[in-house]
Amino acid sequence: MPNSTPPRWKRWKTELTLAAAFAAATPVAALDLASRYQAEPHLSPLPRTDAERVRIEAVTAPATDFSAPEPFENLPAGAATVRARSDDEAFSQHSANLSFEQELEFKLGNGLFKKIWVFAPASTLGSDGLGPLYNARSCQRCHLKDGRGHVPEQPDYASTSMFLRVSIPGPVPSEMQVISDYIGTAPDPNYGQQLQDFSAPGIHSEYKLQVDYGEFEVPLNGGQTATLRRPLYTAANLGYGPLAEGAMLSPRVAPPMIGLGLLETIPAADILAHADEEDADGNGISGRANLVWSQEFNQIMLGRFGLKAGSPTVHEQSAGAFSGDIGISTPLFPAHAGECTNQQIKCQSAPHGGSDSRETEIDQPNMDLVTFYSRNLGVPARRNTDDPKVLRGKQVFYDSGCTSCHVPKYVTHRLQDRPEQSFQLVWPYSDLLLHDMGEGLADHRPEARATGREWRTAPLWGIGLTQQVSPRATFLHDGRARTLLEAILWHGGEAEAAKTRVVELSPRDRAALISFLESL
């Protein structure tokens, strides 16, 4: 059942919990440190009035009537919602409420997002600097049509939109030692933090990603069965010697790009209101905030982006992808060699695209355009919200406990400088918190506070159009689930009870649940 704890009480409880957690480490500064969970230096929000708080609590309350759609349910991104196209461009539209001038900015950002980078030196000075090690030559080649990536296929296993993250156990950085449960990691000394399977001429690539599957049957109520596939990942053809002892690998498929600016403007306090680390309400769900160090703002911030909520802002996530995925230096991550380690001598000494007039291979004005584009990819309108089967599926979604993690709706900050994201009722179906998803989905690789069994709740908006945008796209962090039902059946840990309820549903109700998800 959905959590019925009043949001205001949960916010108060969260603040006390955070203050108590910090008190043990630094008693004098406990309250100041706790407030960093809610620090939002990337935003300049106006304070909410008491009247607005009352309105927001009413409009974001869980649904109780499933006989008809809720008001504005067909507009998951509020005024930014775009029409639901029936082709593969469904995720590539700009937010509907952009001004004419902003549309031009969006189009310029789109050009940079699609730009094919080339090796240096090249005659196209604005596009050189690729690699020397890389996973893709453009942002678009990972986020296919701005949607999900896909797993590599035999025989060549060319991944492009999927890779392996890697790390080894390491010390906790000094700036993060105020967080008692922060998990220290370090890059692999030979391979860094991410394995790249492409390289410049004369330089070895790092590996080839190989994926093999073993299948097994899951019985469902009503005489039905589902076939799940369990993946086995191999870092084959390692180009720089063995991985370090204790190396931890995590497969990642590129997630969709829609709605990121709206996720960025949900008040941190509203996200934290759903955190319940000690499961005080006894519902078996204990969402936790990931806390990360922001390179952009030099402070601890709430993680929102990435499969383990390891990045705090759209800009920082985008800059990290340029460095790690394409090998392009940015003002935030200025290393021209990208992810090359000190052990990769040829990689470190390879030509790059920097110059006296161009300190990094992409400069800040162009990074701002990419960030604006990434913030304003529109969320498509819901379909069939008044269909009786979809409405029944919505009730099943609630009754099965799915909304305990996939929180349906929020109201974004009121912002003067970002009107396109300001004070919108949005329906991402995520709490943006970390949850233990069980051993079946564990990657055993921690990231900041996230353990090897924890993942950020994936937003569900647009999920019904995923395979329309990219027919090869599949689901979950590593693409193992070929269907939405398979994705549900992989849920474990905190979601085990909800998964079991879905298994026990009648075939009719299970089909209704899938119809609801397909309408998102």
Q: What is the DSSP letter of 226?
A: E
Residue 334: how many CB atoms within 10 A of its CB? 13
- Ranges of residues in the chain with a pLDDT under 70 are 1-36, 157-159, 356
Write phi, then psi, for 94 (nearest 5 degrees). Answer: -80, 155
Q: What is the DSSP letter of 380?
A: B
Beta-carbon contacts of 35 under 8 Å, excluding residues fewer than 6 positions away, are: none
| Whole-number pLDDT of residue 122 | 87
Cβ proximity of 275 and 287 under 8 Å: yes
Cα 42 from Cα 31, distance rounded (Å): 21
For residue range 14-67, list pLDDT tens digits in order: 333 333 333 333 332 333 444 567 889 999 999 999 999 999 999 999 999 999
Cα 307 from Cα 478, distance rounded (Å): 10
| Whole-number pLDDT of residue 37 | 72
Helices 100-114 & 364-375 angle (0-180, nearest 10): 110
* CA-derived radius of gyration, the chain: 22
* DSSP codes, 299-331: EEEE--BTTTT-BSSHHHHHHHHIIIII----S
Of residues 462, 459, 458, 460, the one with CA closest to residue 382: 462
| Residue 484, both tokens | 């939405």
Of residues 427, 423, 385, 386, the one with CA closest to residue 403: 427
**Could you give the C-alpha distances from 378 to 80, 125, 325, 443, 496, in angstroms and in order?**
6, 32, 24, 31, 33
* Peptide bond preceding 132 in cis form (omega within 30 of 0): yes
Binning the chain into helix, strand and coil, the percentages to the nearest 5 are 30, 15, 50
Cβ proximity of 167 and 248 under 8 Å: yes
Q: Any alpha helices (H) in 326-422, and if so which ranges?
A: 345-349, 364-375, 388-399
Cβ proximity of 512 and 390 under 8 Å: yes
Look at the block and give the residue holding tokens 């890697």.
166
Cα 380 from Cα 437, distance rounded (Å): 28
Cα 347 from Cα 374, distance rounded (Å): 30
| Whole-number pLDDT of residue 451 | 98
